[in-house]
Amino acid sequence: MTLLTTAFAAIICTVIWYKNAPKDEMKIGILTLMYWGATLMWLIDGVFEYAELGAEYFTPAPLDMLNDFYLGLSVVALGLVIWLIVLLIKDPKGAVRAVLFKKTTSDSKN
Amino acid sequence: MACLLVPATEAVVTTIVRKVMVSKEQQTDTQSTEATLDHAEHSVTIPFTRKLKWLSNMLWGGSALLAFEHIWHGEITPFFPFLTGVAEGNAAGVLQEMATTGVSMAVLVTLVWTGMVAITNAMEKKEQSAAIAAKQDV
């Protein structure tokens, strides 16, 4: 479930990135690569688990599945938080700098 | 248990290599006075450092999210020796997982990146030949 959740996040991000390409003002490319990296790593994890469990790998207990889905959603949220931090630090649109260093009307009068 | 340490190490290496290459590129850019030559060729070439950043982003992102999963499952702890497997005296198991799962993860991500670079190189060559053909037509 974690693998599936991350894979869907990676696919959705890739579609959004492609839709806005060649512009990447929101740095969606970083988020896309991050999710694809995690998806590939979990794929390997899944292959090793399948080699160990066999067909049982595809029939997890409902509680395990729910826990894995919960983990998957948390992973997606963490990825979004990391992306948001990178976006605000790199500030490609200059919005943060504009807000922080904006002179108020009282400042401009003085 | 500690499989993420292998791709994380690769991420550190690629980041350092990229930083060194970027500084060298900047040095050659300032020294070179022939930057304007072969402009058509340069305009369709993606620097290798940019391609290396794709690998770096995949490795860092994947390792960070995998680290979170390991914390979730209690395999990583905030205190020494940081790995539950090592604390329980199963260092051999940890090393074995790093050698199998960890190496496979790093290899797969690198293979996918190699494929991405190969496709981009082919696209670059196509663009270059199209640009040269357009130049010759004029």
Dump the DSSP string for A29-81.
HHHHHHHHHHHHHHHHHHHHHHHHHGGGGGS--HHHHHHHHHHHHHHHHHHHH
- Nearest residue of B to residue A82 by CA position? B61
Residues of A near B (Cβ–Cβ under 8 Å) read 2, 6, 29-30, 33-45, 47-48, 71, 74-75, 78-79, 82
pLDDT of residue B51: 93
**pLDDT tens string for chain A (110 positions)?**
889 999 999 999 999 999 988 888 889 999 999 999 999 999 999 999 999 988 888 898 999 999 999 999 999 999 999 999 999 999 888 888 888 887 665 555 55
Instruction: Find which of B69, B97, B111, B112 to mutate to test the A interface (most A CBs within 10 Å of its CB).
Output: B69
Contacts of A97 (CB under 8 A, 6+ apart): A91
- Kindly determine whether residue B4 and residue A45, on different chains, have CB atoms separated by under 8 Å: no
- pTM value is 0.86
Structure tokens at B76: 């990583």
C-alpha closest to that of B59 among B3, B115, B98, B110:
B110
Question: How close is the nearest chain B Cα to the Cα of A45, in Å?
Answer: 7
Question: How close is the nearest chain B Cα to the Cα of A78, in Å?
Answer: 7
Question: How close is the nearest chain B Cα to the Cα of A36, in Å?
Answer: 7
- The 8-class DSSP code of residue A104 comes to P
How many structural domains comprise chain A? 1
Q: Pick from A29, A41, A45: which is nearest to B109 by CB?
A: A41
pLDDT of residue A21: 85
pLDDT of residue A104: 60
pLDDT of residue B42: 54
Question: How close is the nearest chain A Cα to the Cα of B47, in Å?
Answer: 17
Q: With a cut of 50, list the residues of chain B below it in pLDDT.
A: 37, 40
pLDDT of residue B40: 47
Q: Pick from A6, A36, A41: which is nearest to B7 by CB?
A: A41
Q: Pick from B61, B104, B108: which is nearest to A33 by CB?
A: B61
Query: By 3-state DSSP, what share of chain A in percent is helix, strand and coil, each rounded to 5?
Result: 80, 0, 20
Range of the domain at A34: 2-109
Residue A101 burial (CB < 10 Å; 0-12/13-18/19+)? Answer: exposed
pLDDT of residue B29: 74
